[in-house]
Amino acid sequence: MIFSSITFLFYFLPIVLLIYYLSPKKYKNIVLLISSLIFYFYGEPKYTLLMIFSIVSTYIFGILINKYKKNSKLFLEFSIVVSVGILIYFKYFNFIIENINLWITNKIDFFYVALPIGISFYTFQMISYLVDVYRGQAKVQKNFVKLAMYISLFPQLIAGPILRYSTIEEQIENRTHSFEKFAIGVRRFIIGLGKKVLIANVLGELTEIFLQSNNLSILYYWIYGIAVMLQIYFDFSGYSDMAIGLGKMFGFDFLENFNYPYIATSITDFWRRWHISLSSWFRDYVYIFLGGNRVSKIKWLRNILIVWLLTGLWHGAAWNFIIWGLFFGILLIIEKLFLNNFLKIIPKFLARIYVLFIVMISFIIFNGENFNQIIKNIEGLIGIGNIPIISKESIYYFKSYFIVILVGIIGSTPLLKNITNTTKFNKINNILEPIFLFLILLLCTSYIIDGSFNPFLYFRF
């Protein structure tokens, strides 16, 4: 079940909200737990038991880590081996065997293992909980329902943001519900839905058309590069907006996951703004564990590359994701060693152009099906391969998708937010915003009923 579906919008969510708000306070977490399990079962019936097993093992290991202090490190290490082992099997087994078979004569016969939706997200949440309990940064949760609800909470279960137990520990026990908070949640959810359905999905259609086309040109390659950037941003930030909005409807305050990454002035700045919950997770649970920058320069550089290799692998079991992760790792090293001071003194618009070009290249890598396609799409940006500057097809699709691309470019910056948040626009906002939100919901519903292109990119992670 995805958020941008009729089933979720007009059946599941209204029923869950009704039951939740009619239930006494002591039953609200139970309602959320049961709802989350039903939500997951709807999309992954055969892997629901796997998630329940993971929750039970996390619950037991948390109690053991807290109770037996002398052996707490051993319990933590074993729990991580179990969680990561399950993740490796379901996410990377096929990839590992396929690559081994490339190098051996007697091929290994194997069956393909299907990837459970959301396993990367809830695995990281379980690990962060156990590590925080071990470090004394969070209290062990002895109530199974509350811990299971935290891990399986449906608003963020299948595509994040990654919730730290320590950040919502209090909210699990006590959270505030108000009409104002609910209204803010609805507003945020509808904006996220609009990002997903009206921008990301439409640009996704354009990228698919490009990949099927044989009438390519330099302009077409640039249209594709920009469309991929905007599609991935609006797909994932749209989902995060919906998750944060749903959280508020149920009384939770999730941390922000995006902060206008396309206005960044360096790659370092970009990763402080993009998928914040993931980059901070790797920083706190991998980078610092390896020693961070408090080691020799060689080990420090090694730590950066390990983190970004793992970041790439986290996104998917394919070589393009590994290349994508190492690409960013190498660029971050170059910035830290040489470029940062230069980027601080040049005009900001030049620094932003540098970031946007690098990010566009990175997402061409990210979106590539194979190495040859990636190289071809990058070469096409600069005209390698004797291709024309423009073609009739590129002009046609440029005109057809120009409005969506323009809206995407403006929407990926804080320009509209800065204009509408002024005192001058407050009264106008109070009148026009409900109408605007209603129209977005109406348009999104029309697109969904029409059966338009509607995948979530981050479901494969």
- Asked if 130 and 277 sit in the same domain, the reply is no
* Cα(167)–Cα(29) distance, integer angstroms: 17
Angstrom CA distances, 189 to 276, 367, 444, stand at 19, 26, 12
pLDDT at 213 over 90: no
Q: Which two tokens stand for residue 403?
A: 């409005």
- The answer on 86 and 66 residing in a single domain is yes
Q: Answer whether 1's CB lies under 8 Å from 7's CB.
A: yes
The reply to whether 387 and 253 lie within a common domain is: yes
Q: Are the C-beta atoms of 285 and 128 separated by less than 8 Å?
A: yes
**Of the candidates 115, 147, 175, which is a domain's last residue?**
175
Same domain, 100 and 210: no
pLDDT at 112: 85
Check residue 61 and give its pLDDT: 96
Q: What pLDDT digit, counting tens, does each position of 21-63 carry? A: 999 999 999 999 999 999 999 988 889 999 999 999 999 999 9
Q: What pLDDT is stored for residue 206 in this prediction?
A: 94
Among residues 140, 175, 210, the one where a domain terminates is 175
153 and 195 in a single domain? The answer is: no
For residue 455, whether the previous peptide bond is cis, meaning omega lies within 30 degrees of 0, is no
* Whole-number pLDDT of residue 109: 81
Report residue 455's pLDDT band, with 50, 70 and 90 as the boundaries.
Answer: low
Domain that holds residue 309: 181-460
Please state, for a pLDDT cut of 70, what percent of the chain lies above it.
97
Residue 392 within any structural domain of the chain:
yes
> Could you tell me the pLDDT band of residue 12, with boundaries at 50, 70 and 90?
very high
Q: Are 151 and 126 in contact (CB under 8 A)?
A: yes
Q: Give CA–CA dist 307/282, Å, rounded.
A: 7
Inside any domain, residue 149: yes
Both 23 and 79 in one domain: the answer is yes
Rounded to an integer, the average pLDDT of 88-109 is 89
**Side-chain half-sphere of 109: how many Cα atoms within 13 Å?**
0
- Let me know if residue 280 belongs to a domain: yes
In angstroms, the CA 401 to CA 367 distance is 20
Mean pLDDT, all residues of the chain = 91
How many domains is the chain built from?
A: 2
Q: Does residue 169 form part of some domain?
A: yes
Same domain, 232 and 370: yes
Q: How confident is the model at residue 460 (pLDDT cuts 50, 70, 90)?
A: low
Q: In the prediction, which pLDDT does 418 show? A: 82
Check whether residue 202 and residue 304 sit in a common domain. Answer: yes
**Both 149 and 215 in a single domain?**
no
Q: Catalytic residue among 315, 322, 352, 461, which? A: 315
Q: Are residues 162 and 216 in the same domain?
A: no
Whether residue 360 sits in one domain with residue 450: yes
- Give the pLDDT confidence of 162-180 residue by residue, as tens digits: 998 988 889 998 899 999 9
In a domain? residue 1: no
Q: Residue 453: is its pLDDT beyond 60?
A: no
Where among 157, 175, 193 does a domain terminate? 175
The question of whether 275 is a catalytic residue gets the answer: no
Q: Looking at the domain assignment, is residue 364 inside a domain?
A: yes
Same domain, 410 and 293: yes
